[in-house]
Structure formats: structure tokens, C-alpha cells
């Protein structure tokens, strides 16, 4: 998101985080801007039944946990590494000064937050249809449009069925059955358990 050399010039520092380690938790105050250098980070809430609701699987080069940087509220979700990772962090007051002095970066963050809000609205819209295929297709289409969680070379989806279930609120059994039906209809390809999706999927909301 932000050039690493620029972050380092403003005093940012690297932090190694082991797989499964928490970077921050819902309800905690925010002290840093976070950007993932290597690894993966799961950004999620936990409902009253202990089930995860995954908002995003953060990949290298992406920032995460930005909301408290702008509204001074605590973190709205948890961030936990999915594998050994390296994060670069910049103190919140310094970050705010940086974006004030670099309007292009400030604009990029406004665009990023708008995209994430639009994605959430599109997913919520599919909930009304109670159609698992629409929910999964909307998720995959948005990820492809943003070039996230897909291999750029072979179009392989880099998400597990369980992660898709946690991102859509569906049961993993429903995800497995629905994606098999989507494969049979030619909307995606499943080979040796791997999911590939080259083209956008038509979303039909009843």
C-alpha cells in the first residue's frame, strides 16, 4: 500500500509474527499503522457461538486495521497470522502526519476504504436471496476484481472451503456442495481439490 522505503524513512519498524499469533484484538486501542510484508493475516470477528466471521485474508503488500487510525475508536476486528509473517508498523501519530503531507497516499486510503465498503454491501445484498451460489459467486468475483486471494498465473483460488464458509456465513458442507454444483455448471473448475476461476461468474439474485 505504502512504499516500504518511505515508511522506514518515517521511522517504521519491522516485526516478526509467528503463525497463529495475534497482532491485535477487537476492542483494543490502536497505536500503529500495519502493513503486511510477508505471510498472511486473517481479519475476523467471533460471534457469540464462537464462530469466526472472516472479513478478509490479508496478503503481502496490503494494509489492515485502518479504521481506528481515522475514527480514534478501538479495533473493530481481530488480526491473527495464518503463517509466519513480517509486518511493518508505523506509530499512529506519525502515520497521520505522513498522509497529511502526502495527499496521494491519503486519497489512496479513501479509495481503499470505499472499495471495502462497496464489497461488504455487495455481500450483504446476496444474504437477502438466501442463495449460497450467489453468495459464493459474489465473493469470488470481488476477490478476482481486486486481484486478491487468486494466483495471477493460474487463477487458482488461495482460500480453503472453511475460509469461504467463514467469509459468507455458510456451513462448510454447504460451500463444498455448492462449489461442486458450480463446477458441474462450468462456472469454476475443481481439479484435485484445487479451485480455479478464470472468468467472472454471473450472479443471479432472486
Question: d(Cα 188, Cα 118) in Å, to the nearest integer?
Answer: 24
CB 76 within 8 A of CB 67: yes
For the chain, the helix, strand and coil percentages under 3-state DSSP, each to the nearest 5: 40, 25, 35
Tell me which residue of 31, 42, 106, 113 sits closest to 75, measured CA to CA.
31
**pLDDT tens by residue, 157-204:** 999 999 999 998 899 999 999 999 999 999 999 999 999 998 888 876
pLDDT attached to residue 62? 93
- Report whether pLDDT(205) > 60: no
Question: d(Cα 27, Cα 123) in Å, to the nearest integer?
Answer: 24
CATH architecture classification, 4-101: Sandwich (2.60)
- Identify the CATH class of 128-196: mainly alpha
Question: d(Cα 91, Cα 58) in Å, to the nearest integer?
Answer: 20
Task: Centre a 10 Å sphere on the Cβ of residue 57 and count the other Cβ atoms it contains.
Answer: 21
Question: d(Cα 131, Cα 120) in Å, to the nearest integer?
Answer: 17
Q: How far apart are the first and last CA of the chain?
A: 37
- More confident: 112 or 93: 93
Q: Is the dihedral of CA 166, 167, 170, 172 positive or negative?
A: negative
pLDDT attached to residue 148? 87
Residue spans per domain, the chain: 4-101, 128-196
Task: Centre a 10 Å sphere on the Cβ of residue 45 and count the other Cβ atoms it contains.
Answer: 13
Fold match between 4-101 and 128-196? no
Amino acid at each position: 500500500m505504502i512504499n516500504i522505503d518511505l515508511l522506514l524513512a518515517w521511522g517504521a519498524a519491522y516485526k516478526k509474527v509467528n503463525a497463529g499469533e495475534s497482532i491485535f484484538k477487537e476492542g483494543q486501542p490502536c497505536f500503529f499503522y500495519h502493513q503486511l510484508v510477508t505471510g498472511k493475516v486473517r481479519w475476523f470477528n467471533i460471534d457469540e457461538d464462537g464462530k469466526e466471521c472472516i472479513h478478509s485474508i490479508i496478503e503481502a503488500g496490503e494494509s489492515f486495521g485502518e479504521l481506528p487510525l481515522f475514527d480514534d475508536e478501538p479495533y473493530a476486528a481481530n488480526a491473527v497470522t495464518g503463517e509466519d509473517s513480517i509486518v511493518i508498523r508505523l506509530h499512529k501519530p506519525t502515520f497521520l502526519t505522513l498522509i497529511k503531507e502526502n495527499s496521494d497516499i491519503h486519497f489512496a486510503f479513501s479509495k481503499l476504504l470505499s472499495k471495502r465498503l462497496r464489497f461488504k454491501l455487495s455481500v450483504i445484498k446476496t444474504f437477502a436471496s438466501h442463495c449460497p451460489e450467489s453468495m459464493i459467486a459474489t465473493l469470488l468475483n470481488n476477490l478476482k476484481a481486486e486481484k486478491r486471494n487468486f494466483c495471477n498465473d493460474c487463477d487458482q483460488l488461495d482460500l480453503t472451503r472453511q475460509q469461504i464458509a467463514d467469509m459468507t456465513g455458510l456451513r462448510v458442507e454447504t460451500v463444498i456442495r455448492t462449489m461442486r454444483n458450480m463446477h458441474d455448471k462450468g462456472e469454476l473448475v475443481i481439479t484435485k481439490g484445487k479451485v480455479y476461476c478464470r472468468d467472472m461468474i454471473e450472479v443471479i439474485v432472486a
